[in-house]
Amino acid sequence: MGSSWPLGEMLPMKRMQKTVAAVARRDATLLSAVSCYETNYPEFARQIVRRAIDWGHVDPNEIVVTGSCTEAISLCLCAVAKPGDTIAIESATYFVLLQLIEALGMKALEIPTHPKTGPSIDALELALSAGLVQAVLLIPNANNPLGCIMPEANKQRLAALVSKHNIPLIEDDVYGDLCFTPERPWPVKAYDTGGNVMLCSSFSKAVSPGARVGYVLAGRYAQEVAVLKMVSSGATSHFFQAVLADFLSGSAYETQVRKMRRALAQRIARMSDAICHAFPQQTTVSEPQGGFVVWVSLPEQVDALALHEQAIAQGVAFMPGQLFSASGKYSNYLRLNCGNAWSPRVEAAIATLGQLVHREADRPSVLRSAA
Ligand SMILES: Cc1ncc(COP(=O)(O)O)c(C=O)c1O
């Protein structure tokens, strides 16, 4: 229940095995040729353009194919900011984004974030007007760990805001296709008129984490990003881009994400029920609108890091809340991955965790600080 990955059982592995074999038979040069001078495999880029048709027109020249969503975000950060610069982020946010900002010698500014509507645009406006940040990095569709989707009106305001201040916005849309709303929510990129928004995503969550194929629609920073991609890691495997292009060209992808959305919503509901039964009364559980994680607020006196140590000793994993903040907030929060199918093993893990939380919550504070 620690990392936010779907189990292999949810992924279209049989179909991928067939596609890998078919592509290898059809064009063996994809395996033998050196394709490192051309970042994008054209048919893959065409499929990305086709998938974006619902919300807007993507210029194929702004696509840079990457090895993952994380690589796309890292390249974007390097293209638009330098060591010492400050990046505005949601609070709470995916801990790898914080680690990336730190690794690049940049600083993070946490923007207050509503658990249902996402980051405060007013707060972001204050930060931009005061010249405090050089770039913005957000997860507007199904934020990890909160699971919230920014309302469309906020996305429009945000796009206008970054355009007015001429600030780049890096948009992590990796969960966009795994939202539970009747319609797939649009990205902020749909409202971007000045090319300031850089949309990053990948097929790691819904198709194949092992294929390592992601991309960025880099707007007016496309050239800088493409050069950085080239000099840092060369092109992403054309073979796997061709496999993904095949998968995306028919109805397989739509079928896959529809199936996953249904299953994930059910798994989240089941896990949330179990948490409500096993944890103390003061616990609250998020109601994610997409993705596969729940964000759990525990009684204030529980320290998630101490709890983590005890849980790991009993074979139960989760992510402690402190990881999702640049300033050590969320010490009484934890994130649980709901991607696993419900089973007696998961049920027992939630029961164990519930007992540990009860024990921590009931412990006299003197003993807690001594531990
Ligand atoms: C918000 C978010 N972005 C990116 C990723 C990683 O995607 P990739 O494997 O394509 O780098 C994750 C994985 O947990 C995630 O939660």
Q: Is 141 in the pocket of ligand 1 (CB under 6 A)?
A: no
Q: How far is the CA of 65 from the centre of ligand 1 (A)?
A: 15
- The pTM score is 0.96
What per-residue confidence (pLDDT) applies to 338? 95
Least confident of 1-5, 78-82, 200-204: 1-5
Please give the Cα distance from 219 to 59 (Å, whole number): 8
Mean pLDDT of all residues in 102-121: 98
Residue 335 has pLDDT above 70, yes or no: yes
Express each pLDDT in 94-109 by its tens digit.
Answer: 999 999 999 999 999 9
Half-sphere exposure for 362 (CA within 13 Å, toward CB)? 9
CA distances to 56, 117, 353 from 301, rounded to whole Å, are: 48, 27, 16
Please, are residues 172 and 69 in contact by the beta-carbon 8 Å criterion? yes
Our mutation pick for probing the ligand 1 site, out of 174, 207, 335, 336, counting the most ligand atoms within 8 A of Cβ, is 174
What per-residue confidence (pLDDT) applies to 363? 84
Please, are residues 19 and 243 in contact by the beta-carbon 8 Å criterion? yes
CA distances to 16, 48, 114, 238, 337 from 43, rounded to whole Å, are: 17, 9, 39, 10, 34
Q: Strand pairing partners for 357?
A: none
Our mutation pick for probing the ligand 1 site, out of 3, 5, 93, 94, counting the most ligand atoms within 8 A of Cβ, is 94
DSSP result, 202-242: ESTTTT-GGG--EEEE-GGGHHHHHHHHHHHH----HHHHH
Q: Is 154 in the pocket of ligand 1 (CB under 6 A)?
A: no
Q: Is 204 in the pocket of ligand 1 (CB under 6 A)?
A: yes
Residue 273 is inside which H or E element, if any? Answer: helix 252-278
* All domains of the chain in start order, with CATH: 12-251 (3.40.640.10), 254-370 (3.90.1150.10)
Q: Is 171 in the pocket of ligand 1 (CB under 6 A)?
A: no
Q: Which ligand 1 atom sits closest to the C-alpha of 68?
A: 10
Residue 359 has pLDDT above 70, yes or no: yes
Q: Is 174 in the pocket of ligand 1 (CB under 6 A)?
A: yes
Beta strand spans in 79-167 (E): 86-91, 107-114, 118-119, 135-138
369 or 335: which leads in pLDDT: 335
What per-residue confidence (pLDDT) applies to 369? 52
Q: Is 94 in the pocket of ligand 1 (CB under 6 A)?
A: yes
Express each pLDDT in 273-331 by its tens digit.
Answer: 999 999 999 999 999 999 999 999 999 999 999 999 999 999 999 999 999 999 999 99
Q: Is 70 in the pocket of ligand 1 (CB under 6 A)?
A: yes
371 or 98: which leads in pLDDT: 98
Grade residue 238 by pLDDT with cuts at 50, 70 and 90: very high
Mean pLDDT of all residues in 222-227: 97
